Amino acid sequence: MTDTLRAQIEQAIAGNDTILFMKGTPEEPRCGFSARTVAVLEQLGVPYAAVDILPDPRIREELSAISSWPTIPQLFHKGELIGGCDIVTEMFDSGELAEELGVEQPAPIQIENRLG
């Protein structure tokens, strides 16, 4: 069963340009780190697949064995691990994530202070 699960995870990584392994779904993230990573991807407007690792603890075990990365979420692009929430967020802030994913970096939101 483990070999089958590993093959399914590897196939999912290879079969999607961008894939996020997360807790919950993009519509209902089940942890703050997953929610933050989804928000970054949504802000970039990049299409991505998502896999909820919560229904089966073996998914997390096999994924971590494949990626050598212990934490969730894990973002992959073109078969390569980009990283978890902190790395994705840092790359987004620097513009490196948009470049890696081949999309335009959104302009920063400008908030005008009219209180003073």
CA dihedral 36, 38, 39, 43 (to 10 degrees): 140
Of the options 3.40.190.170, 3.50.50.60, 3.40.30.10, 3.40.50.300, the CATH number for the domain spanning 2-101: 3.40.30.10
pLDDT of residue 91: 96
pLDDT of residue 19: 98
C-alpha–C-alpha distance, residues 73 and 40, integer Å: 12
pLDDT of residue 3: 86
C-alpha–C-alpha distance, residues 84 and 73, integer Å: 5
Q: Do 9 and 62 meet the contact criterion of CB atoms below 8 Å apart?
A: yes
pLDDT of residue 116: 66
pLDDT of residue 105: 84
Residue indicated by tokens 């933050």: 36
With a cut of 70, which residues of the chain have pLDDT below it?
1, 109-110, 116
